[in-house]
Amino acid sequence: MPVFHAHIPKGHYSSDQKTAIARSLNLSLVQGLGIPKEDCFICLSEHAKDELFIHPTFMGMQRSTSALIITVLIGDHRPSVEKQQLMATITELLKQHVGISPDDVFIALIPVPNENFSFGQGMAQLAGCSPQW
Amino acid sequence: MPVFHAHIPKGHYSSDQKTAIARSLNLSLVQGLGIPKEDCFICLSEHAKDELFIHPTFMGMQRSTSALIITVLIGDHRPSVEKQQLMATITELLKQHVGISPDDVFIALIPVPNENFSFGQGMAQLAGCSPQW
Amino acid sequence: MPVFHAHIPKGHYSSDQKTAIARSLNLSLVQGLGIPKEDCFICLSEHAKDELFIHPTFMGMQRSTSALIITVLIGDHRPSVEKQQLMATITELLKQHVGISPDDVFIALIPVPNENFSFGQGMAQLAGCSPQW
């Protein structure tokens, strides 16, 4: 149930590239955390030039006009090592599948208790059970 | 102060239906948690087909093209029972008022300390007092 | 790395005003928390009338059609006093630089562990070190 929201520059990525961004994010769960590929809940939002402000060099990066911000709602049971694996995998797959420079990928993982997710039917499917993945 | 953000498929819901989605979310606080109906802070965002990716069956649901993702910033003092009541009420009201199938409603509740909200004037109105609702 | 997302009414603010909103948010980190001005990661999203619902008076405010909702992903190490300083500074700067009434500014600070941010290269640059700012 990691839920992705990618904030991308408007008109910069083609429809195919937008789909490839989503596919890369989905695949990062499979490859980075061993989550089934069916666990796919992803939004992209385009922002015009006057709606997206990302510093070109902060923290030693060389960011381009392709730079994007990705937020991920992620189970708060994940240890540091898994979170680092996920961030590395997202960045690697966006490079492989979309050609996005690793310097252009900003990620924030927002921790959420597993019992706070409903996959449908208004039920908290993960309440009271230990995480499967 | 639960703050809602609903991510919906672009062009799928009419303007009246979008308003009914917002009204249902607002009402879920009143009916599910006993919060006053004036506590209304809601955004909707439309996402085109290449911007919204929701798996059609993961976790045993039968999702349609109406499927949506709802995030809620919610006070971190809420016990499990209240969170489950809220998720059930959201889903029920979206069915009643908008005709959305319960299988189509994905919800994530993001916990936020009450002192982290400002309702205006730059003040943290809920800092240092116990939650009223 | 506080990351801002401002939800604003569609067509209400000019392009210059949108840029001024972003500049005010960036400056709030510098003035409110002593963060370097290069730490700039900001999105704005416009919402039409049927996509943004903010109560006009809840909690004693007099909100106008300019009202907006700002979310901030912020390091979870921040004490209450710093969070309150940030909310006050955001509101003050939006008044000074954009002319937005303090009653119109709703803010939610979402706490995120510092190790959950990647500034690029897929690395968690702040993992294992104490916050510099």
Q: At how many degrees (to 10) do helices C15-33 and C80-98 cross?
A: 150
Question: In DSSP terms, which residues pair with A76 in a beta bridge?
Answer: none
Say if residues A34 and A131 touch (Cβ distance below 8 Å). no
| C115 contact partners, CB below 8 Å, separation of at least 6 | A80, A83, A84, C124, C126, C127, C128
Beta-carbon separation of C118 and A92 below 8 A:
no
Question: What does the pLDDT read at residue C128?
Answer: 85
| Identity of the residue in A52, A63, A90 whose CB atom sits nearest the CB atom of C43 | A52
Q: Cα separation of A41 and B104, whole Å? A: 12
The alpha-carbon gap from C77 to the nearest alpha carbon of chain A, in Å, equals 14
| B38 contact partners, CB below 8 Å, separation of at least 6 | C55, C57, C58
Q: In what order do the strands lie in the sheet with B3-9?
A: A117-118, B105-112, B68-75, B3-9, B41-47, C52-54
**For residue C75, which residues of chain B lie inside 8 Å, CB to CB?**
none
Question: What does the pLDDT read at residue A111?
Answer: 98
Say if residues C41 and C29 touch (Cβ distance below 8 Å). no
Q: Closest residue of A to C19, CA-based? A: A50
| Tokens 């919060």 belong to residue | B35
Beta-carbon separation of B116 and C83 below 8 A:
yes
The alpha-carbon gap from B4 to the nearest alpha carbon of chain C, in Å, equals 10
Q: Cα separation of C120 and A67, whole Å? A: 10
Question: What does the pLDDT read at residue B93?
Answer: 98
Say if residues B109 and B74 touch (Cβ distance below 8 Å). yes
Q: Cα separation of B125 and C48, whole Å? A: 28
| Identity of the residue in C50, C91, C108 whose CB atom sits nearest the CB atom of B116 | C108
Distances (CA, A) of C124 to A5, A8, C44, C71, C119: 19, 21, 25, 22, 7
pLDDT tens profile B74-120 = 999 999 999 999 999 999 999 999 999 999 999 999 999 999 999 99
pLDDT tens profile B11-33 = 999 999 999 999 999 999 999 99
Question: What does the pLDDT read at residue C91?
Answer: 98
Q: Residue ranges of chain C with pLDDT lower than 70? A: none
pLDDT tens profile A18-71 = 999 999 999 999 999 999 999 999 999 999 999 999 999 999 999 999 999 999
Question: What does the pLDDT read at residue B86?
Answer: 98
Beta-carbon separation of A122 and B80 below 8 A:
no
Number of H helices, E strands in chain B: 2, 6
Say if residues B54 and B63 touch (Cβ distance below 8 Å). yes
pLDDT higher than threshold 90 for residue B128? no
Q: Cα separation of B19 and B29, whole Å? A: 16
Give percent helix, percent strand, percent coil of chain C, each to the nearest 5. 40, 30, 35
Beta-carbon separation of A120 and B110 below 8 A:
no
Q: Cα separation of C111 and B112, whole Å? A: 7
Question: What does the pLDDT read at residue B131?
Answer: 77
By the 10 Å C-beta count (0-12 exposed, 13-18 middle, 19+ buried), C27 is classed as middle
Q: Cα separation of C133 and C130, whole Å? A: 9
Provide the Cα torsion A117, B24, B77, A79; round to 10°.
20
Q: Lowest-pLDDT range, A101-110, A121-130, B33-42?
A: A121-130
Q: Cα separation of A45 and C112, whole Å? A: 21
Token couple for A104 = 């252009």
Question: What does the pLDDT read at residue A87?
Answer: 98
Beta-carbon separation of A120 and B106 below 8 A:
yes
Q: What is the ipTM of this complex?
A: 0.97
Question: What does the pLDDT read at residue A128?
Answer: 85
**For residue B44, which residues of chain C lie inside 8 Å, CB to CB?**
47, 50-52
Q: Cα separation of A121 and C127, whole Å? A: 38
Question: What does the pLDDT read at residue C129?
Answer: 84
Question: What does the pLDDT read at residue B62?
Answer: 98
Longest distance between any two alpha carbons in chain A, whole Å: 46
Say if residues B68 and B104 touch (Cβ distance below 8 Å). yes
Q: Write the single-letter amino acid at C76.
A: D
The alpha-carbon gap from B120 to the nearest alpha carbon of chain C, in Å, equals 5
Question: What does the pLDDT read at residue B80?
Answer: 97
Question: What does the pLDDT read at residue A1?
Answer: 82
Question: What does the pLDDT read at residue C8?
Answer: 99
Beta-carbon separation of A89 and C123 below 8 A:
no
